[in-house]
Amino acid sequence: MVICLCNGMSDGDVRAAIAQGASRPAEVYACCGGRAQCGCCAPTVLQLLREGPAKG
Ligand code: FES
């Protein structure tokens, strides 16, 4: 599922970034080759960060 239209990031991309050590949204975007733009996806990114790499 695409959660960030600006960067074309899926939830899988975000989880992969978290699994690689991203602990803040900016690191998640950077790890996916993008950056925070409109911010619409921020709540979802934060939720995935809270869930951590173990789930999913
Ligand atoms: S949808 Fe992610 S920055 Fe716009």
The CATH code of the domain that includes 29 is 1.10.10.1100
| Residue 21 resides in a domain | yes
State the distance from the centre of ligand 1 to the C-alpha of 14, rounded, in angstroms.
12
Predicted confidence band at 54 (pLDDT cuts at 50, 70, 90)? low
* Structural domain count of the chain: 1
State the distance from the centre of ligand 1 to the C-alpha of 39, rounded, in angstroms.
5
| Residue 19 resides in a domain | yes
- Regarding the beta carbon of 38 and ligand 1, being less than 6 Å apart is answered yes
| Residue 23 resides in a domain | yes
Question: Over the stretch 3-51, which tens digit does the pLDDT of each residue have?
Answer: 999 999 999 999 999 999 999 999 999 999 999 999 999 999 999 999 9
Q: Which domain holds residue 9?
A: 2-51
| Residue 56 resides in a domain | no
pLDDT at 56 over 90: no
pTM confidence score: 0.89
Long-range contacts of 38-43 (CB under 8 A, 24+ apart): 38/5, 38/6, 40/4, 40/5, 40/6, 41/3, 41/4, 41/5, 41/6, 41/7, 41/9
| Residue 16 resides in a domain | yes
| Residue 45 resides in a domain | yes
- Name every residue whose Cβ is closer than 8 Å to that of residue 7 and which is 6 or more positions away in sequence: 29, 32, 33, 34, 35, 37, 41
